[in-house]
Amino acid sequence: MFSSLRPKVEEILLKNKETPDARMLEICQLLKDSIPHYDWVGFYFRNGEKEELLLGPYAGAPTDHTIIPFGKGICGQVALSNKNFVVPDVKAQDNYIACSINVKAEIVVPLFVGGENIGQIDIDSNTPDPFTEADEEFLEFITKAVSQIL
Ligand code: SME
């Protein structure tokens, strides 16, 4: 599944006439539609010089959490840790921001440009404990590939 998606992601990123936001949106839609355990797929980016994340392109239900302060929730923690965060069970997390009662698990992978953590990809899943190392590797491929067009 992941290996067949990689060339499709590369193809989307080569569409130089499209804005980066349009290409990231297309990637969100592709991932959400192709991977059964991906129910919400979105990018967050640092909001200018502020210590907060701003929601970028996403696919899935609209969320109230368009701004997330650094340190808050899974996303805000990744903004500070610079590390992948895999959450098999969101109920077991104290520092978690719920977007929908259906979400059971979450994975967030940071996105680096020039070595700086400037944002992240965030996946919510309605399936309990669905993420493996294969998800982490695939999402690291996505963040590296997207960093090339930013
Ligand atoms: N659950 C995230 C908030 C973002 S939503 O999942 C879209 C968090 O705890 O940071």
Which tens digits make up the pLDDT trace of 58-74?
Answer: 999 999 999 999 999 99
- CATH class in words for 2-147: alpha beta
Q: Which residue, among 85, 86, 58, 54, has the nearest Cα to 70 in the 3D structure?
A: 54
Given this model, what pLDDT does residue 106 score?
A: 98
pLDDT digits (tens, 9 = 90+) for 108-145: 999 999 999 999 999 999 999 999 999 999 999 999 99
Ligand 1 within 6 A of 39 CB? no
Where do the domains of the chain lie? 2-147
Q: What's the pLDDT tens digit per position in 23-59?
A: 999 999 999 999 999 999 999 999 999 999 999 999 9
Helix (H) or strand (E) holding 85: strand 85-87
Name the residue with the closest Cα to ligand 1, atom 2.
Answer: 97
Nearest atom of ligand 1 to the alpha carbon of 95: 9
**What's the whole-model pTM score?**
0.98
Report the SS3 class of residue 81.
Answer: helix
Q: DSSP readout, 105-126?
A: EEEEEEEEETTEEEEEEEEEES
Q: Residues 100-114: pLDDT tens digits?
A: 999 999 999 999 999
